[in-house]
């Protein structure tokens, strides 16, 4: 295909060639070292792609835009990722719990403040394990405001603001280990007028001593697990619930009332055989309004030095359904995953070591909490046999469910209503519609808009853990296979095998018109922004503050001089306003490396402990004279 022949009418703003022409002019003729204001492209407002066009198969032609964003986790890479679908293009890595020396995440003062530091100023953690990413809701679908993502390793919740696609808050959960499932509420559990996300719920797989200060090491039967609730707005931990068993994945009801978690360890065991002992495990529902009423009434304890209220959700404390905050519904053995259907009626929880998916009806669970259903098991309305190793279930909005089968290496498509009919005794119900081979060992799957009321039944992604022979060999460490499946027709069609650096778990597929981003920052958003008036060098004792501006192809100071032993802070504001015109700032020996996007400000602080001349240089291609964009950082002995 010739690039000149591509029809980009739908996707191309009129500024494209204008932008190119201007940059070229900047490059050759526009070599200006001053910092005169630049008026071009200063539109800091939101940018949204139009509603999706139709693409055939997985190929998105050059110059064409994808139909969907996928926001996915990265496992113990510690980051979040944005892909375009169906192409599979990696549009961005979002550093969250990891160090990313490209953007300077974990290097700049601003990112270190978000990540958390030790008393000596070094990072508290440099590792993380992200499993689930979910977006904030409004009116039952994504509002494009926030993403929330978990860290299983250090039990942290991070929030990503979707206008800039950057992590803006990280909260560590007290007295929690193995924080795995995360899900925002879809509307307020208490105030029915609030139809958007206000809380984020967090499961916890592992039992630990409470508090975990060295007590009870020898007696795991005294250990416990907590379910946590974090404020979406402040990111503070609002309350926790002590539970029996563990809390693995999370889901929330569309009416805002309930949070659900699957439990693979109702046994409260500390070893593998113990965790597999019971024939049934559970799906636990928490009644959020009742939890918060207990907190409000002061009926809580606290654990160790944490001030977070902890209420008791264990069975013995919740014998009467009419006051209970928790309902334990028996499901198949060692389940891994619970998902809410987009019609708002059902939760599906699969028994990993049982070949079944358990369908639980929300209305019946609410009736149980009202005392009108006797046995929690009576909330189950279907339990079809669907295949070996069922894990996670996605939906197409047309009444069908798609469950990943880890052991069979398949995606199974089954009909929810048919499963319910079969459970009621209809022997002619056609439950299983199709079994589709995936390559190999699928973990999560997720469908386009599938966790919203706007589930559109277009794509299903199967995140496969093993990729043997699907891609060119690259040594002992294999990529994973993210298989994109078209589910819009009667039969599933494999569209693409995309690779992934280990290891994505869950994700969401979001229609592109839902996402509204900013291309340029507001300089005034940064209280420490450098202005022509404040630019320069300021010394207070041995503390030196260097206030710099960048505009291609130069920093505002060609020479910066400090003394050995100084504590140096460099604050850099990027005065370029051209979209995509990012500058880097690296200083050899001092291990400094970060970027400033258009109109952004960042800072670093370090001790000048090596005498010599060090070239601070721009690491991020900006201009024809990018290589020449550098200043001398001189440290006098």
Is residue 166 a contact residue for its own copies (CB under 8 A)?
Answer: yes
CA 43 to CA 522: how far, in whole Å?
Answer: 9
Is residue 127 a contact residue for its own copies (CB under 8 A)?
Answer: yes
Among 103, 295, 340, 509, binds its own copies (CB under 8 A): 103
Residue 515 C-beta: closest distance to its own copies, Å: 8
CA 602 to CA 548: how far, in whole Å?
Answer: 10
Among 128, 203, 256, 457, binds its own copies (CB under 8 A): 128
Is residue 53 a contact residue for its own copies (CB under 8 A)?
Answer: no
CA 427 to CA 410: how far, in whole Å?
Answer: 25
- Sign for the CA dihedral angle at 270, 272, 273, 275 comes to positive
Task: Look at the block and give the residue holding tokens 């003394």.
Answer: 563
Is residue 144 a contact residue for its own copies (CB under 8 A)?
Answer: no
Is 257 or 583 the residue whose CB approaches its own copies more closely?
583
Query: How many Å separate Cα 199 from the centre of its chain?
Result: 15
Is residue 586 a contact residue for its own copies (CB under 8 A)?
Answer: yes
Give me the torsion for CA of 192, 198, 201, 202, rounded to 10°: -170
Query: Looking only at residues 104 through 123 of this chain, which bind its own copies when binding is defined by CB under 8 A?
Result: 106-107
Site string for its own copies, 275-294 (x = CB under 8 A): xx------------------
Among 10, 89, 531, 538, binds its own copies (CB under 8 A): 89
Query: Looking only at residues 444 through 463 of this chain, which bind its own copies when binding is defined by CB under 8 A?
Result: none
Q: Where are the beta strands (DSSP E) in 512-566?
A: 517-518, 536-540, 543-551, 554-555, 559-563
Residue 3: CB atoms within 10 A of its CB come to 9
Site string for its own copies, 562-581 (x = CB under 8 A): --x--------------xxx
Tell how strand 310-312 and strand 237-243 pair up.
parallel
Task: Look at the block and give the residue holding tokens 């193995």.
Answer: 178
Residue 474: CB atoms within 10 A of its CB come to 9
CA 212 to CA 224: how far, in whole Å?
Answer: 10
Is 353 or 429 the residue whose CB approaches its own copies more closely?
353
E strand or H helix at 444 = strand 442-447
Is residue 441 a contact residue for its own copies (CB under 8 A)?
Answer: yes
Is residue 468 a contact residue for its own copies (CB under 8 A)?
Answer: yes
Is 23 or 198 the residue whose CB approaches its own copies more closely?
23
Residues in CB range of 30: below 8 A, 6 or more apart = none
Residues in CB range of 605: below 8 A, 6 or more apart = 109, 567, 568, 569, 570
Among 7, 10, 16, 531, binds its own copies (CB under 8 A): 16
Q: Are 124 and 112 spatial neighbours (Cβ–Cβ below 8 Å)?
A: no
Is residue 223 a contact residue for its own copies (CB under 8 A)?
Answer: yes
Among 181, 184, 209, 507, binds its own copies (CB under 8 A): 209
Query: Looking only at residues 304 through 333 of this chain, which bind its own copies when binding is defined by CB under 8 A?
Result: none
Site string for its own copies, 487-506 (x = CB under 8 A): ----xxxxxxxxx-xxx---
Tell how strand 459-464 and strand 250-252 pair up.
unpaired
DSSP 100: B
Among 481, 455, 335, 334, residue whose Cα is nearest residue 401 = 455
CA 557 to CA 560: how far, in whole Å?
Answer: 7
Among 185, 248, 281, 451, binds its own copies (CB under 8 A): 248
Task: Look at the block and give the residue holding tokens 């926030």.
Answer: 146
Is 369 or 402 the residue whose CB approaches its own copies more closely?
402
Site string for its own copies, 32-51 (x = CB under 8 A): -x-------------xxx--
Among 7, 10, 20, 277, binds its own copies (CB under 8 A): 20
Among 7, 370, 375, 628, binds its own copies (CB under 8 A): 628
Among 620, 614, 615, residue whose Cα is nearest residue 600 = 620
Is 266 or 291 the residue whose CB approaches its own copies more closely?
266
Residue 259 C-beta: closest distance to its own copies, Å: 20
Contact segment (CB under 8 A) with its own copies among 367-375, 394-402, 404-412, 424-432 equals 404-412
Is residue 69 a contact residue for its own copies (CB under 8 A)?
Answer: yes
Is residue 80 a contact residue for its own copies (CB under 8 A)?
Answer: no
Among 147, 157, 173, 177, binds its own copies (CB under 8 A): 177
Is residue 423 a contact residue for its own copies (CB under 8 A)?
Answer: no
Residue 235 C-beta: closest distance to its own copies, Å: 20
Count residues near its own copies (CB under 8 A).
Answer: 176
Residue 522: CB atoms within 10 A of its CB come to 13
Among 409, 260, 391, residue whose Cα is nearest residue 401 = 391
């Amino acid at each position: 295909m010739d690039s000149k022949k591509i029809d980009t009418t739908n996707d191309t703003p009129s500024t494209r060639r204008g932008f190119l022409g201007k940059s070229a002019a900047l490059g050759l003729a526009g070599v200006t070292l001053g910092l005169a204001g630049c008026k071009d492209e200063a539109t800091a407002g939101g940018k949204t792609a139009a509603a999706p066009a139709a693409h055939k198969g997985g190929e998105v032609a050059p110059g064409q835009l994808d139909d969907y964003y996928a926001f996915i986790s990265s496992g113990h890479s510690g980051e979040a990722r944005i892909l375009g679908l169906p192409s599979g293009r990696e549009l961005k890595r979002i550093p969250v719990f990891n160090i990313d020396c490209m953007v300077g995440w974990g290097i700049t003062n601003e990112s270190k403040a978000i990540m958390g530091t030790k008393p000596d100023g070094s990072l508290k953690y440099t590792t993380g394990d992200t499993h689930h990413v979910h977006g904030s809701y409004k009116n039952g679908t994504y509002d494009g405001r926030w993403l929330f993502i978990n860290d299983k390793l250090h039990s942290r919740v991070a929030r990503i603001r979707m206008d800039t696609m950057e992590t803006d808050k990280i909260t560590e959960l007290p007295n929690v280990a193995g924080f795995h499932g995360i899900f925002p509420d879809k509307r307020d559990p208490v105030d029915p007028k609030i139809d958007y996300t206000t809380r984020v719920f967090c499961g916890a797989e592992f039992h630990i001593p409470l508090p975990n200060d060295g007590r009870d090491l020898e007696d795991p039967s005294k250990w416990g697990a907590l379910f946590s609730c974090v404020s979406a707005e402040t990111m503070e931990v609002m309350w926790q619930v002590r539970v029996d068993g563990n809390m693995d994945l999370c889901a929330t009801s569309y009416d805002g009332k309930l949070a659900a978690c699957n439990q693979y360890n109702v046994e409260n065991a500390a070893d593998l055989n113990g965790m597999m002992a019971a024939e049934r495990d559970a799906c636990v529902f928490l009644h959020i309004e009742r939890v918060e009423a207990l907190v409000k009434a002061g009926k809580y304890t606290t654990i160790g030095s944490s001030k977070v209220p902890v209420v008791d959700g264990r069975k013995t404390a919740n014998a009467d359904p009419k006051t209970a905050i928790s309902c334990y519904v028996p499901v198949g053995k060692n389940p891994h995953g619970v998902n809410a259907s987009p019609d708002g009626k059902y939760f599906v929880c699969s028994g990993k070591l049982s070949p079944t998916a358990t369908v639980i009806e929300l209305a019946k669970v609410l009736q149980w909490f009202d005392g009108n259903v006797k046995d929690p098991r009576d909330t189950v309305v279907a339990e079809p046999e669907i295949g070996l190793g069922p894990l996670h279930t996605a939906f197409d909005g047309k009444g069908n469910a798609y469950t990943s089968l880890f052991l069979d290496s398949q995606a199974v498509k089954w009909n929810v209503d048919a499963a319910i009919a079969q459970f009621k005794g209809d022997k002619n119900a056609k439950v299983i519609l199709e079994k589709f081979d995936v390559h190999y060992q699928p973990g999560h799957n997720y469908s386009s808009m599938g966790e919203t009321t706007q589930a559109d039944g277009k794509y299903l992604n199967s995140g496969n853990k093993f990729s043997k022979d699907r891609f060119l060999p690259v040594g002992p460490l294999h990529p994973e296979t993210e298989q994109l499946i078209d589910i819009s027709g009667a039969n599933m069609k494999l569209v693409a095998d995309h690779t992934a650096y280990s290891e994505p778990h869950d994700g969401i597929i979001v229609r592109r018109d839902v996402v509204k981003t900013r291309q340029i920052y507001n300089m005034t958003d940064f209280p420490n922004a450098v202005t022509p008036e404040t630019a320069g060098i300021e010394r207070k004792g041995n503390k030196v503050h260097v206030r710099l501006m960048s505009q291609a192809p130069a920093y505002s100071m060609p020479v910066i001089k400090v003394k050995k032993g100084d504590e140096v802070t460099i604050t850099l504001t990027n005065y370029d306003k051209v979209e995509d015109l990012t500058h880097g700032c690296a200083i050899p020996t001092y291990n400094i490396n970060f970027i400033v996007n258009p109109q952004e400000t960042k800072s670093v602080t370090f001790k000048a402990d090596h005498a010599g001349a060090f070239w601070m240089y721009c690491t991020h291609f900006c201009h024809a004279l990018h290589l020449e964009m550098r200043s001398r950082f001189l440290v006098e002995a």
